[in-house]
Structure 1
């Protein structure tokens, strides 16, 4: 993977917490030159080898080729003017903040050449993430730069409606947490059936991981795979009857995703006000 960044055309990360840190880890593993990266984060005390770490933005330096915004939305609203001063017409601003919409980003970044919203998730650290992208302001090769950064992370899905970023925040951004809850629930259920806690945890992880890998490799839908596992009158069908009764699992997941999506919309409204 060739990255469009060199030390003279750097990538800056404003904020480098869990998500931005996972992205950076994958980029470095995929061949990004660490000398091309500057982290600006007063809360961090260390950085990957070769990556520059600053508590405040470096002064008197050219604007970066790309500026990844990975800070909390509340902090962004307070410091947006200072952040805009870091950019130039050749800069692509890439925001991974939930709830800060394109209109707000456009208002706050008058100088930047391009603005992209990118919603990643934590499996990006393994190159197995799912990122949703939307161009809020085209310019400075916004699509090419953001796409080059997103593809090493896993799936890179471009959408032409910004509303799908909020929906994606709920599905892929928050989704791993919901899957982890399901894995934990399987492990707890296994314990109730008599397995030791460590055995239950190992079984739950292997079962979900293997099932996901098979679904990804299959040419049929997960629903069809479930039916193939379930023999009429068998053990799997008995369990599926519980999940399928009154569409209980579909309803639960739909409510879960809707709640997360609604919160993203609320955050956007708070930012506008």
Structure 2
């Protein structure tokens, strides 16, 4: 992979928070050379393997690729300073949750292509999920970005922004919800008399092992559940609690709906910023 896969030179990361840092961690772990990267962050905090500057003026030649990796609420603060450094060959990849391509294009009109990427945190260990969408990226750009993000796990191009938003609501936010479930499983173990350390390890390894087994065997979750649950056994009794009135399904659906609603609100806020 590392013999053929290269980060475009130069590439700018504008900001480098949790998600931007996770991408860099994944590329670094995968053996990619980060030297084409310039990180632009006011704090000047170093990033291993990459050059860090505190302003666009210090970043050097116009970038081939720009990754927007800051909070979406800062778009109107950052875009005016960025746009003058983009060339007609610059591809902009936005990690900004909820900010649609039309809003990005209005703020960065000179870019060659605008691409949205919805990622999740496990890209840091190259087991992540990435959704990509662009109304104007050409075939070579799509292939290049697909390769870069496939190096971080599973990546796919989405048909439209609605489907990208759906991916973000499930996969982007999903690690937080899975983490809460693991924590709840551990707390239940503590309640049954296990130490916190042992309960936490058991819960984490159980979820990891179950996911790995299902992925390896290409097995459905229903099949996994049924293989664990013996008729009239202890697991089946527990499943009846989760399945009663579809309580677990409903709880997860309400949770995903709340995340999706916030994404829609962010999109409207970005549109309002342009109109204003």
Q: TM-score, normalised by structure 1?
A: 0.94
SS in 2 for 1:137: coil
Extract structure 1 runs of 4+ deviating beyond 3 A. Answer: 58-61
Residue 16 of structure 1: aligned partner = 16
In structure 2, what is the Cα distance between the partners aligned to 1:44 and 1:230? Answer: 54
In structure 2, what is the Cα distance between the partners aligned to 1:104 and 1:83? Answer: 15
SS in 1 for 2:132: strand
Q: Gapped runs of 5+ residues in structure 1?
A: none
Write out aligned runs for 1:258-273 (5 A): 258-273=257-272
The answer (yes or no) to whether the contact 2:98–2:265 under 8 Å persists in 1 is: yes
Write out aligned runs for 1:185-196 (5 A): 185-196=184-195
Q: CA deviation at 1:88?
A: 1.2
The answer (yes or no) to whether the contact 1:116–1:142 under 8 Å persists in 2 is: no
Write out aligned runs for 1:92-111 (5 A): 92-111=91-110
Residue 239 of structure 2: aligned partner = 240
The answer to whether residue 32 in structure 2 is matched with residue 32 in structure 1 is: yes
In structure 1, what is the Cα distance between the partners aligned to 2:7 and 2:218? Answer: 37
Size of the alignment, in residue pairs?
270
Cα deviation code 1:81-115 (max 9, x no counterpart): 22222211211100011011011011111111111
In structure 1, what is the Cα distance between the partners aligned to 2:16 and 2:59? Answer: 22
In structure 2, what is the Cα distance between the partners aligned to 1:45 and 1:5? Answer: 21
Q: CA deviation at 1:165?
A: 1.8
CA spacing shift, 1:17–1:60, aligned 2, 3 Å: closer
Greater shift, 21-30 or 57-66, is seen at: 57-66
Residue 168 of structure 1: aligned partner = 167
Cα deviation code 1:42-88 (max 9, x no counterpart): 13421103x10001114483321110000111111222122222211
The answer (yes or no) to whether the contact 2:133–2:157 under 8 Å persists in 1 is: yes
Q: CA RMSD, aligned part only?
A: 1.5
The answer (yes or no) to whether the contact 2:68–2:96 under 8 Å persists in 1 is: yes
Residue 180 of structure 1: aligned partner = 179
SS in 1 for 2:52: strand
The answer to whether residue 125 in structure 2 is matched with residue 131 in structure 1 is: no
Greater shift, 58-67 or 37-46, is seen at: 58-67
In structure 1, what is the Cα distance between the partners aligned to 2:104 and 2:212? Answer: 37
CA spacing shift, 1:188–1:222, aligned 2, 3 Å: same
SS in 1 for 2:47: coil
The answer (yes or no) to whether the contact 2:62–2:85 under 8 Å persists in 1 is: yes
Q: TM-score, normalised by structure 2?
A: 0.93
Residue 257 of structure 1: aligned partner = 256
The answer (yes or no) to whether the contact 1:63–1:87 under 8 Å persists in 2 is: yes
In structure 2, what is the Cα distance between the partners aligned to 1:237 and 1:206? Answer: 21
